[in-house]
Amino acid sequence: MIELGGNITLVGFKELEPAELIVVKKIVGSYARRMSDTVKDFESLSLTLKEVHKTPKSQKYEIHSKMISSSKTYTSEVVDRNLFVVLDSSLKKIVAQL
Protein backbone atom coordinates (compact mmCIF):
# COMPACT_ATOMS: atom_id res chain seq x y z
CA MET A 1 0.00 0.00 0.00
CA ILE A 2 1.27 3.45 -0.94
CA GLU A 3 -0.08 6.62 0.69
CA LEU A 4 0.03 9.98 -1.06
CA GLY A 5 -0.56 13.03 1.08
CA GLY A 6 -2.55 11.21 3.75
CA ASN A 7 -5.93 10.98 2.01
CA ILE A 8 -4.91 9.05 -1.14
CA THR A 9 -4.21 5.32 -1.00
CA LEU A 10 -2.79 3.13 -3.80
CA VAL A 11 -3.10 -0.63 -3.31
CA GLY A 12 -1.32 -3.09 -5.60
CA PHE A 13 0.87 -0.50 -7.29
CA LYS A 14 4.21 -1.54 -5.72
CA GLU A 15 4.89 -4.07 -8.51
CA LEU A 16 5.04 -1.31 -11.14
CA GLU A 17 8.26 0.01 -12.62
CA PRO A 18 9.51 3.22 -10.95
CA ALA A 19 8.88 5.28 -14.10
CA GLU A 20 5.30 3.99 -14.34
CA LEU A 21 4.71 4.74 -10.68
CA ILE A 22 5.80 8.36 -11.12
CA VAL A 23 3.25 8.84 -13.93
CA VAL A 24 0.54 7.11 -11.88
CA LYS A 25 1.19 9.43 -8.92
CA LYS A 26 0.97 12.52 -11.14
CA ILE A 27 -2.31 11.39 -12.74
CA VAL A 28 -3.86 10.47 -9.39
CA GLY A 29 -2.69 13.70 -7.76
CA SER A 30 -4.17 15.78 -10.56
CA TYR A 31 -7.56 14.06 -10.33
CA ALA A 32 -7.54 14.20 -6.51
CA ARG A 33 -6.98 17.96 -6.66
CA ARG A 34 -9.87 18.30 -9.13
CA MET A 35 -12.13 16.20 -6.89
CA SER A 36 -11.28 18.15 -3.74
CA ASP A 37 -12.00 21.41 -5.59
CA THR A 38 -15.37 20.08 -6.81
CA VAL A 39 -16.58 18.44 -3.58
CA LYS A 40 -16.42 20.50 -0.40
CA ASP A 41 -16.09 17.55 1.99
CA PHE A 42 -13.48 15.43 0.17
CA GLU A 43 -12.22 12.79 2.63
CA SER A 44 -10.28 10.13 0.74
CA LEU A 45 -9.46 8.52 -2.58
CA SER A 46 -8.50 4.86 -2.81
CA LEU A 47 -7.35 2.95 -5.90
CA THR A 48 -6.80 -0.80 -6.10
CA LEU A 49 -4.87 -2.31 -9.01
CA LYS A 50 -5.32 -5.94 -10.03
CA GLU A 51 -3.60 -7.70 -12.90
CA VAL A 52 -6.05 -9.86 -14.83
CA HIS A 53 -5.26 -12.61 -17.38
CA LYS A 54 -1.51 -12.11 -17.09
CA THR A 55 0.38 -13.95 -19.83
CA PRO A 56 3.98 -13.38 -21.00
CA LYS A 57 3.16 -10.87 -23.76
CA SER A 58 -0.28 -9.68 -22.75
CA GLN A 59 -2.08 -8.65 -19.60
CA LYS A 60 -5.06 -6.63 -18.54
CA TYR A 61 -5.26 -4.18 -15.67
CA GLU A 62 -8.31 -3.76 -13.48
CA ILE A 63 -8.65 -0.69 -11.29
CA HIS A 64 -11.24 -0.14 -8.60
CA SER A 65 -11.52 3.50 -7.56
CA LYS A 66 -13.38 4.83 -4.54
CA MET A 67 -13.75 8.44 -3.49
CA ILE A 68 -15.39 9.27 -0.18
CA SER A 69 -16.89 12.58 0.86
CA SER A 70 -18.83 13.16 4.05
CA SER A 71 -22.13 12.87 2.22
CA LYS A 72 -21.52 10.15 -0.38
CA THR A 73 -19.25 7.43 -1.77
CA TYR A 74 -18.36 7.33 -5.48
CA THR A 75 -16.95 4.18 -7.10
CA SER A 76 -15.80 2.97 -10.50
CA GLU A 77 -14.23 -0.11 -12.02
CA VAL A 78 -12.43 -0.34 -15.38
CA VAL A 79 -10.48 -3.11 -17.18
CA ASP A 80 -8.10 -2.52 -20.11
CA ARG A 81 -4.69 -3.52 -21.46
CA ASN A 82 -3.10 -0.10 -20.95
CA LEU A 83 -2.43 0.87 -17.33
CA PHE A 84 -2.68 4.61 -17.92
CA VAL A 85 -5.91 4.34 -19.94
CA VAL A 86 -7.47 2.29 -17.15
CA LEU A 87 -6.36 4.77 -14.51
CA ASP A 88 -7.62 7.78 -16.46
CA SER A 89 -10.95 6.14 -17.35
CA SER A 90 -11.60 5.04 -13.79
CA LEU A 91 -10.95 8.49 -12.33
CA LYS A 92 -12.93 10.20 -15.13
CA LYS A 93 -15.96 8.09 -14.16
CA ILE A 94 -15.75 9.36 -10.59
CA VAL A 95 -15.37 12.98 -11.69
CA ALA A 96 -18.39 12.54 -13.97
CA GLN A 97 -20.45 11.34 -10.99
CA LEU A 98 -19.61 14.51 -9.05
**Rounded-to-5 percentages of helix, strand, coil across the chain:** 35, 40, 20
Q: Are 59 and 15 in contact (CB under 8 A)?
A: no
User: Tens of pLDDT along the chain (98 residues)?
Assistant: 888 888 999 999 988 889 999 999 999 999 999 988 888 888 999 999 998 877 777 788 999 999 998 878 999 999 998 999 999 999 999 999 88
If one counts the domains in the chain, the total is 1
Residue 63 CA to residue 7 CA, distance in Å, equals 18
Distances (CA, A) of 67 to 64, 82, 93: 10, 22, 11
The answer to whether 64 and 75 have CB atoms below 8 angstroms apart is yes
CATH number at residue 44: 3.30.160.100
Per the structure, the complete domain to which residue 35 belongs is given by 2-97
